Structure formats: structure tokens, C-alpha cells
Chain A
Amino acid sequence: DIQVTQSPSTLSASVGDRVTITCRASQSLTNRLAWYQQKPGKAPKLLIYKASILESGVPSRFSGSGSGTEFTLTITNLQPDDFATYFCQQYNALWTFGQGTKVEIK
């Protein structure tokens, strides 16, 4: 099974900050990695797929990069609506999620 390690587990930031979340896979995913945002009591929402492609309707302050085993999600100019939990997901071999990163207000 492919393991996905996401860090950090919690991140404190302020409005306007630039934040970066990392996912590392136990084997190469090529670019088969997605990022989701989840708010309390809600379903996850797709942000990015194929490591770097923004889902339609997602603000351009979100970006993804990486390939192989190391990937990052970057949020520039953090907005109040962005305080949430973020998950990565590999879909190269079955499906595995990272443990999640909670972005909280500093």
C-alpha cells in the first residue's frame, strides 16, 4: 500500500500570509495527487488534481506543485474563508489520504 505523510498537522497563520503544506508518498505517484479542503461538518471539496491543476471555480491563490514522491499545496494571501483542514490524496494505486493539516488563525 502507498503511504502518504502530510505535514504539518496544524499551522497557525494570519490573513494575508503565504502558507505551504507538504505531502510525501512512500513511492512515486508521478503526478497522481489531489488536494481537498474541508470545513467542520462539511464534505471535502476538491481544490487541485494532477498535482497542479486547479479545479474550476477554485481561487487562483491556491496552487499545487511537485511530482514523484514530494508535493506541496501553497495558499498565497490567505483569506478568512481559507481557515479549514486540507488533505492530500494519492490515486496512483488505489486511494490513500494524508492525515490532514488544520490551518488555524494565529
Chain B
Amino acid sequence: QVQLVESGGGVVQPGGSLRLSCRTSGFTFSDYGMHWVRQTPGKGLQWIAFLRFDETNKYYANSVKGRFTISRDKFRNTLYLQMNSLRPEDTAVYFCARQHGDYYFDSWGQGTLVAVSS
């Protein structure tokens, strides 16, 4: 069955960096666009980044543009999110999600918590 497992979350100081991973299985990873979404109690769910299946297009939310980079390794079936210049407002649970061909999200990981605090 389809599985997405995030890892790499933790506590980091403001201005620091963190790399999240999303290991996938149960489907042909290179056939699907993938997303990162974050969730906070105050702001709910926020889409933050997308990478097309063939890596020809990337999109970012304005709040993370220039600081976060989405990438993928088709040989490891893994999606990544490199997060630099972290701010307290980046504190959230981060989910990876698989995009159905019609652009909604049909599978999600269980999430990994990122806390930005001094």
C-alpha cells in the first residue's frame, strides 16, 4: 500500500537550518508530483511547496520562497525539504503529500514536528 514517512524534524534556533525527508513506498515515486504542507494550531493547513514528477516545475508559497528548497531523489524514492533561515513562525508539523494527476492530494504522511525556538 502507499506509504509516506517523514523524518528530520526537531528543535532548531532561529536562523538555523533543517532538512526534512519523506520516504515513500508502494507506488512508482517518479510518476507523481509531491508536496509539502505544514500545520499550526493558529493557521491551520498551509501548502508550502510542490515539485512536479519530472522536476521540471517547482512552486513555493510566498512565506517560504527563497528560504526553502524542495527536491527529490528518484533512486531513493524520497522527497526532501531543505529549510534555511528558519523563523519562529515556521514552527509547525510538516507533512508530505502525493498529488493525484488532477492536482488534489490523495495520500499523506503522518507528519514531523519542527520547532524554531531559542
Q: Judge if A67 is at the interface, Cβ distance under 8 Å.
A: no
Q: Judge if B27 is at the interface, Cβ distance under 8 Å.
A: no
A interface with B by C-beta (< 8 Å): 32, 34, 36, 42-46, 49-50, 55, 87, 89, 91, 94-100
Partner pick for A97 among B44, B59, B107, B108, CB 8 A cutoff: B44
Do B111 and A43 touch across chains, with their CB atoms under 8 A apart?
Answer: yes
Closest partner residue, chain B, to A89 (CB atom): B104
Chain B 41-78, CB within 8 Å of chain A: the 1/0 string?
00011110010000000010100000000000000000
Given contacts A43-B95, A46-B107, A96-B47, 15 further A-B contacts (CB under 8 A): A32-B102, A34-B105, A44-B45, A44-B105, A44-B108, A46-B105, A46-B106, A49-B104, A91-B103, A94-B47, A95-B35, A95-B50, A95-B103, A100-B44, A100-B45
